Structure 1
């Protein structure tokens, strides 16, 4: 599809109205053809807002899992104050479309077994599916604490639990359709990685990752186009899943027939919440670590990040080798990067180069890098031109080879524009840290040695 055809699709009154109504109380962002995200935070208040974003080259529309009283006022310190709800979305991530259908059927079955009648599903437009339960289905309080403030931890526990509940059904159904050897070839994994003592691990075939659920997490909105396939993220009835074909989601075929997360029965997810909370509470600390480790291993292979406090604690106890594919949080940035992050009057272009390479070397994903860099640029006096920042992000993103930021003692860099302020972890005046990316692991190592 070209941009004119994309604009024509979003010009449909029913499409614009649906996206507008669904976006109420949500943070919304657009995704351009090259994968870059538009400005955040953003909202859609009127149908013409959809058209205005499409005019700028937006192909996809993404919205937050969380619902906010004032999405445009979001900041890390205001999340709990502004959050008024959150929807549970199971993201079925798979290489083959048919694998995703089997996994989705098993998880829908699991939800209905827990008494939930208002289960929603939509095609992502790629190979997978999104299964959802609306916020209104959840109890107001869990363990005497407001459910609204238990995001993302409660959502993660529910998904971990559902995966285990549906495991046997999912494994049986996928093995009835595909031998293990075929599955190994289809997902390009060694057979030994898939096999278990009793059969296969179906979540090596299709992943449903709770760790990726995080504050301000986005998902593709229903009836949005997928920029890679130009198919629509199409809602359907759960009983239509088996017969659904990808081509049913071609834009020219799409009509608004189904809603998404738009009906509920008050607190019908009580049983699911209670059983998942009890299941998690009965797990020993070692079992919890083993469950999380399984997900983290998949994240390490994918280069993703996470930001919950529990995961951050795990990060701090990992060896440097295990941390190689893990996100480095902002609290572990070296002094020079913290000084850069506060905004500059001098050295802005050199600092942009440094930031992009530091964040990439610290295993941040590109969505978060782009957001961080754009917010940083607003603090500069004056800011760099937006076109320049975009071109630099695009250039760095296109490079297959990852490069480090300049070394600490490199002439013309950190000392030259006044951001080098070495602390004890840097080695003080000795400056024994060679490169800013080494700072985080050294700081953690020093803390562990101090505890000993």
Structure 2
């Protein structure tokens, strides 16, 4: 079987047209060859010429894998590099969404709706390929983002893997809410004779966290020994005396993250963002898949549900007119809206931390609360947001107030007061969840810089005064102004 796979791979990779397409999507990226049961070859590796692919096949390579990240020089990569060292040589990253639902008809439907959602955000440079086995890879090239874009004071090229994780989480929520995909997938599963229970999870409406299975929702009391218990079962026996306990009512369940009390069913789309990490690889376009023997080929975006795996048999593969990650068709900035909304959507997940985080500022010992000392943008936000920008404003305000030395309860009260001024107030559960997440973060960071076009300018609160010319960050504005006021009073 091993020789058969290697022979098939050799015959396939000798094709010049295949070599050309693999090379096109691997330039500036790390590459790793897989050798059937032996696993991956040396890392890092690169492909410079079409003949390099032929040489890998001659050595027994059965598939080729490529990084989402772009590197100035992939050969500088080494095991054990710190986050900061990786950022020094990273030049960008491609957005790859990996759809791998175990039911084939559902995988096709999810891929179709994901593509639809990305298009909804004004992106045209989208491509999709069959993964080679059970799913699909949807791609948006790095060139579709503005290269000078910064979010939370980070340049775009360093928003990996955080950027992809947030986008995937946002898109998953988007198709669940806008397209009612849960009911549609249930219908497909039932049509395939599948039990839907194994694919459904219960989530909190306010913050999106999954309800824990072990949470109890019934209260019981033993008539004999008066012992009280909680359980999700309808009938239980007393653990003390063995008698049947009496149910005394349902417990008002609360989300462990935000204390919300409303829950809903949601299909688990099995899009695993935890696998996205530094130096993560995915199967290259026109690479073979060892288990299925099929080829990872690009397909038509508009005919995903019509795709048949037989088209991916090596002997039937022809170079498609649909190119995967075609940077030439990307327009700079067309994907900015997607990533900005993704960062607004849900910031609650574990982010990779630098080993040596930089200290950004000193928090004053006495909290600064005089709003006359606040910059124009913050004062404008505090008047209430009438259109877009409410969620971004929550992020800005929390970090601004924390930087001025406010206590958590003071920030919460201020946010609740501010939310009432918004044209369409945010859910209270959302604000509580954001505050709870920020409360758990040890590192204090300032709000986004003034020049970050994803924030103040984007939703119309930037109205600079003379002080603004001398600062780069709203927090710096207040700290600097207070310091000057103190000096003037001391004279």
Whether these two folds match at TM > 0.5 is: yes
- SS of the aligned residue for 2:129 comes to strand
Aligned-pair CA distance for 1:2 = 3.3
Report the aligned-residue RMSD.
Answer: 2.6
Aligned-pair CA distance for 1:5 = 2.2
- SS of the aligned residue for 2:324 comes to coil
State yes or no: 1:123 paired with 2:130. Answer: yes
State yes or no: 1:201 paired with 2:266. Answer: yes
5 Å-filtered alignment, 1:361-380, equals: none
Task: Describe the superposition over 1:25-60 as per-residue Cα deviations: whole angstroms up to 9, x where unpaired.
Answer: 010001111151011000111111101111111111
Task: Describe the superposition over 1:88-115 as per-residue Cα deviations: whole angstroms up to 9, x where unpaired.
Answer: 1111122122111011111111111111
State yes or no: 1:268 paired with 2:279. Answer: no
Higher helix fraction (1 or 2): 1
Match of 1:157 among 166, 178, 182: 166
| Contact 1:60–1:225 under 8 Å retained in 2 | yes
Higher relative contact order (CA 8 A, sep 6+): 2
| Contact 2:199–2:267 under 8 Å retained in 1 | no
**Structure 1 match to 2:87:** 80
**Structure 2 match to 1:301:** none
CA distance in 1, matches of 2:94, 2:38: 25
Task: Describe the superposition over 1:182-227 as per-residue Cα deviations: whole angstroms up to 9, x where unpaired.
Answer: 4337xxx647758999875322xx3112221111000000000001
**Structure 2 match to 1:108:** 115
Structure 1 residues without counterparts, runs of 5 or longer: 282-287, 293-306, 311-452
| Contact 1:180–1:200 under 8 Å retained in 2 | no
CA distance in 1, matches of 2:192, 2:146: 44
Corresponding residue pairs, total: 285
State yes or no: 1:65 paired with 2:68. Answer: yes
CA distance in 2, matches of 1:138, 1:159: 16
CA distance in 2, matches of 1:121, 1:74: 28
Task: Describe the superposition over 1:271-296 as per-residue Cα deviations: whole angstroms up to 9, x where unpaired.
Answer: 11111112235xxxxxx26xx7xxxx
Match of 1:44 among 23, 43, 47: 47
CA distance in 2, matches of 1:191, 1:180: 14
State yes or no: 1:251 paired with 2:314. Answer: yes
User: Is the deviation greater in 171-180 or in 59-68?
Assistant: 171-180
State yes or no: 1:16 paired with 2:80. Answer: no
Q: CA separation of 1:191/1:61 partners in 2, compared to 1, >3 Å: closer, same or farther?
A: closer
Q: CA separation of 1:46/1:192 partners in 2, compared to 1, >3 Å: closer, same or farther?
A: closer
CA distance in 1, matches of 2:306, 2:183: 20
| Contact 1:116–1:268 under 8 Å retained in 2 | yes
TM-score normalised by the chain length of structure 2:
0.54
Q: CA separation of 1:41/1:193 partners in 2, compared to 1, >3 Å: closer, same or farther?
A: same
State yes or no: 1:25 paired with 2:90. Answer: no
- SS of the aligned residue for 1:248 comes to helix
CA distance in 2, matches of 1:33, 1:112: 37
Structure 2 residues without counterparts, runs of 5 or longer: 204-210, 212-261, 355-491
CA distance in 1, matches of 2:63, 2:200: 38
CA distance in 1, matches of 2:144, 2:8: 38
| Contact 2:5–2:62 under 8 Å retained in 1 | no
**Greater Rg, structure 1 or structure 2?**
2
